[in-house]
Amino acid sequence: AVRAFSEIPGQWKNSVANLYTFWRMDGLRNIHRIMLHNFNMYGPIYREKVGYYESVNIIKPEDAAVLFKAEGHYPKRLRVEAWTSYRDYRNRKYGVLLKDGEDWKSNRIVLNKEVISPKVQGNFVPLLDEVGQDFVARVYKKIERTGQNEWTTDLSHELFKYALESVSHVLYGERLGLMLDYIDPDAQHFIDCITLMFKTTSPMLYLPPALLRHTGAKVWKDHVEAWDGIFNQADRCIQSIYRQLRKTPDGDQKYPGVLASLLMLDKLSIEDIKASITELMAGGVDTTSITLLWTLYELARHPDLQEEIRAEISAARIACEGDVEQMLKMVPLLKGALKETLRLHPVAVSLQRYITEDIVLQNYHIPAGTLVQLGLYAMGRDHRIFPHPEQYRPSRWVRSQSHYFRSLSFGFGPRQCLGRRIAETEMQLFLIHMLENFRFEKQRQVEVRSTFELILLPEKPIMLTIKPL
Ligand code: HEM
Ligand code: 2DC
């Protein structure tokens, strides 16, 4: 017989005790490890209550399949109240990230066509390829300046610039010039604001929203300042494209970027377009740059694998005869490496959905309306799901085993990551250019762990040595 909802194990009955354990384990930065610990303690399903919200947590691919079948027509994930509160406070519209219901669906359908459909992929490739080439030139310059034919550095700041330059080129069809020596201080400020925005979100994740705004707490003030910086910069970029478009409505034939395409399509209001473009611009920086940093870190720790991927890239370069879009179809191991990076170092600790119908998970009855979380970080490190999970093995995604509900780093279904295609193309092209030109090494073999600042980040700087081939 199916067991009752109330029988699910976990510390959900005593949310104060749970909050206490949470603080004691330095929960804010350790959410991912706490989830792992809870799955070890309670098994593959547990209930919890942290602060003001309650959830059922699961880890198995079979359960993920059941969860996503019950997500309904308007899939809804955990609402990040700090983000919606900011918009309410400043009277700004929600974009796709924060919308729900029919409003979300109608916006998302239009955005899908311009951002994630296979049809637009080809438009992005040359834009992203150009930024990748410029990044390589920039690294050669840096190496030259050291006078030692190598460069040892924490690449994160360069990667933030690469990611912002890439996503901006796709969104606006224009370069910001971040691969140059002297960059626009506003662009640098934008990058700093995104990092601050994520950092200030996590402490507010478990506080009731009303409390947030009325306490006048420093986190809230910093958070507002961060979003203000993000919106101001995005507004400037959007305004500039909008004005150009009004002057010369149909300029040349070349692809004008996502924003101009949306404006010309005329299916969403200007305010809706602005809101979602701002989210895309803000969502496009820390996510891909950190994933690339983790990938270089793993490849530096696995020199033979690095060589194997480099060989795959060389072969693809020759076989594609200059057709870069074609080339991206010939690098399965490189794609496996990115999946493997996201398995061990996911951007999102969990995926969440409010289920729209009653379901059964691990033989427990779960009523409609429940918030169910899939522990993505914990799943990626479970030996029953991924044999030898501690090993970085991109080939596991190429041959062998089933991938059934195991490749979920970008989420699933109609509510999955809208920036997925941009992110994947941008990251693949980056690695192609970098591995064609440089070798990556790591000094000391110390393990770098993740820390939670809304997204998972390396807890300390990753130092890499870059050498020309
Ligand atoms: C949503 C992961 C890069 C924009 C999401 C979600 C995940 C995710 C897990 C939630 C999906 C779900 O609930 O099923 C990632 C990862 C990235 C990445 C791993 C890179 C390594 C990007 C980029 C952009 C972006 C580059 C923008 C260009 C968004 C947006 C949403 C989203 C707008 C909300 C979509 C909606 O609610 O309809 N992402 N993301 N992401 N992401 Fe990403
Ligand atoms: C954080 O418990 C942990 O892609 C919470 O590009 C649950 C939660 C809810 C929503 C998730 C968030 C977590 C992590 C960051 C995500 C976010 C949805 C989108 C966002 C996964 C797992 C992200 C990084 C977007 C951000 C775009 C934004 C800056 C405009």
Which residue has its alpha carbon closest to ligand 1 atom 42?
417
Are residues 373 and 58 in contact, defined by beta-carbon separation less than 8 angstroms? yes
Nearest to 66 by CA among 411, 384, 355: 355
Which ligand lies nearest to the CA atom of residue 422 in the structure?
Answer: 1
Probe target for ligand 2 pocket from 454, 456, 457, with the most ligand atoms within 8 Å of CB: 454
**Least confident span in 142-151, 213-222, 233-242:** 213-222
Probe target for ligand 2 pocket from 80, 198, 206, with the most ligand atoms within 8 Å of CB: 80
Residue 466's identity, in one-letter code, is: I
Residue 115's identity, in one-letter code, is: V
Distance between CA 293 and CA 290 in Å, rounded? 5
Residue 338's identity, in one-letter code, is: L
Distance 287 CA to ligand 1 centre (A): 8
List pLDDT tens digits, range 381-431.
999 999 999 999 999 999 767 899 999 999 999 999 999 999 999 999 999
Assess whether pLDDT exceeds 90 at residue 215.
Answer: no
**Closest ligand 1 atom, residue 415 Cα:** 38
Residue-level pLDDT at 16? 67
Mean pLDDT in residue range 45-55: 87
Are residues 315 and 330 in contact, defined by beta-carbon separation less than 8 angstroms? yes
Distance 352 CA to ligand 2 centre (A): 10
CA-based radius of gyration for the chain: 22
Q: Which two tokens stand for residue 281?
A: 């611009």
Mean pLDDT in residue range 49-54: 80
Distance 408 CA to ligand 2 centre (A): 14
Distance 420 CA to ligand 1 centre (A): 6
User: Does ipTM exceed 0.95?
Assistant: yes
Distance 457 CA to ligand 1 centre (A): 16
Residue-level pLDDT at 76? 98
Q: What is the 3-state secondary structure (H, E, C) of 173-224?
A: CCCCCCCCCCCCHHHHHHHHHHHHHHHHHHHHCCCCHHHHHHHCCHHHHHHH
Distance 98 CA to ligand 2 centre (A): 10
pTM above 0.90, yes or no: yes
Are residues 183 and 161 in contact, defined by beta-carbon separation less than 8 angstroms? yes
Q: Which two tokens stand for residue 377?
A: 């970080």
Distance 136 CA to ligand 2 centre (A): 30
Q: Which two tokens stand for residue 314?
A: 């060389």
**Closest ligand 1 atom, residue 115 Cα:** 28
Pocket, ligand 2, Cβ cutoff 6 A: 77-78, 80, 97, 205, 279, 282-283, 287, 347-350, 352, 417, 454-455
Whose structure tokens read 């510390």?
Answer: 11
> In percent, how much of the chain has pLDDT > 70?
96
DSSP SS3 for 49 = strand
Assess whether pLDDT exceeds 80 at residue 154.
Answer: yes
Distance between CA 138 and CA 131 in Å, rounded? 10
Distance between CA 436 and CA 438 in Å, rounded? 6
Q: What is the 3-state secondary structure (H, E, C) of 352-400?
A: EEECCCCEEECCEEECCCCEEEEEHHHHHCCCCCCCCCCCCCHHHHCCC
**Closest ligand 2 atom, residue 419 Cα:** 6
Distance 417 CA to ligand 2 centre (A): 10
Mean pLDDT in residue range 16-20: 69
Probe target for ligand 1 pocket from 410, 415, 426, with the most ligand atoms within 8 Å of CB: 410
Nearest to 142 by CA among 179, 189, 192: 179
Residue-level pLDDT at 210? 73
* pLDDT band with cut points at 50, 70 and 90 for residue 209: low
List pLDDT tens digits, range 176-208.
999 999 999 999 999 999 999 999 999 888 877
Which residue has its alpha carbon closest to ligand 1 atom 34?
97
Arithmetic mean of pLDDT over the chain: 94
List pLDDT tens digits, range 267-303.
999 999 999 999 999 999 999 999 999 999 999 999 9
Distance between CA 407 and CA 77 in Å, rounded? 18
**Closest ligand 2 atom, residue 417 Cα:** 4
What is the 8-class DSSP label of residue 149?
S
Which residue has its alpha carbon closest to ligand 1 atom 24?
419
Whose structure tokens read 């700087």?
Answer: 461
Residue 330 CB contacts under 8 Å (≥ 6 apart), including other chains = 312, 315, 316, 319, 320
Residue-level pLDDT at 65? 98
Distance between CA 177 and CA 192 in Å, rounded? 17
Q: Which helix (H) or strand (E) holds 154?
A: strand 151-154
Q: Any idea of the CA torsion for 284, 285, 286, 290, to the nearest 10 degrees?
A: 100
Assess whether pLDDT exceeds 70 at residue 444.
Answer: yes
Q: Classify residue 136 as exposed, middle or buried by CB count within 10 Å of its CB (0-12, 13-18, 19+).
A: middle
Distance between CA 256 and CA 262 in Å, rounded? 10
Mean pLDDT in residue range 111-137: 97
